[in-house]
Amino acid sequence: GQQVMQIPQYQHVQEGEDFTTYCNSSTTLSNIQWYKQRPGGHPVFLIQLVKSGEVKKQKRLTFQFGEAKKNSSLHITATQTTDVGTYFCAGPHNAGNMLTFGGGTRLMVKP
């Protein structure tokens, strides 16, 4: 079945440093979605990418969808302590909008 992998599993950064997490799917995706989960919280939808090679920005966050629609990345510029949490990518599961999630990248920011 479809598998979604994320690296790294953990990342410690100093506040102000950049951060990137990478997502790879075993199958071509119709779209890729990114979620953020704060410690003790639930996944919160960040963004969806649909087109091959698409790049979207949200303030300090830059999201990319690969040309082959099998990989994606999230880059955070100049991290802040408010960026702490686990970032998940997810792709649709077969037909419909049910999601297969990656294992997540846990970001820790030292002030």
Partner 1 sequence: DAGVTQSPTHLIKTRGQQVTLRCSPKSGHDTVSWYQQALGQGPQFIFQYYEEEERQRGNFPDRFSGHQFPNYSSELNVNALLLGDSALYLCASSLVTGSSTDTQYFGPGTRLTVL
44 binds partner 1 (CB under 8 A): yes
Q: How far apart are CA 46 and CA 44, in angstroms?
A: 6
Contacts (CB under 8 A) with partner 1, residues 82-101: 88, 90, 92-101
Number of residues in contact with partner 1, rule: CB under 8 A?
Answer: 29
Residue at 23: amino acid letter: C
Q: How far apart are CA 12 and CA 96, in angstroms?
A: 36
The secondary structure of 1-60 as a DSSP string is ---EEEE-SEEEEETT--EEEEEEESS--S-EEEEEE-TTS--EEEEEE-STT-EEEETT
Q: How far is the CB of 54 from partner 1 (least distance, A)?
A: 12
53 binds partner 1 (CB under 8 A): no
16 binds partner 1 (CB under 8 A): no
52 binds partner 1 (CB under 8 A): no
Q: Which of 30, 52, 58, 81 binds partner 1 (CB under 8 A)?
A: 30
Report the SS3 class of residue 28: coil
Contact set with partner 1 (CB under 8 A): 1, 4, 6, 30-31, 33, 35, 41-45, 48, 50, 88, 90, 92-104
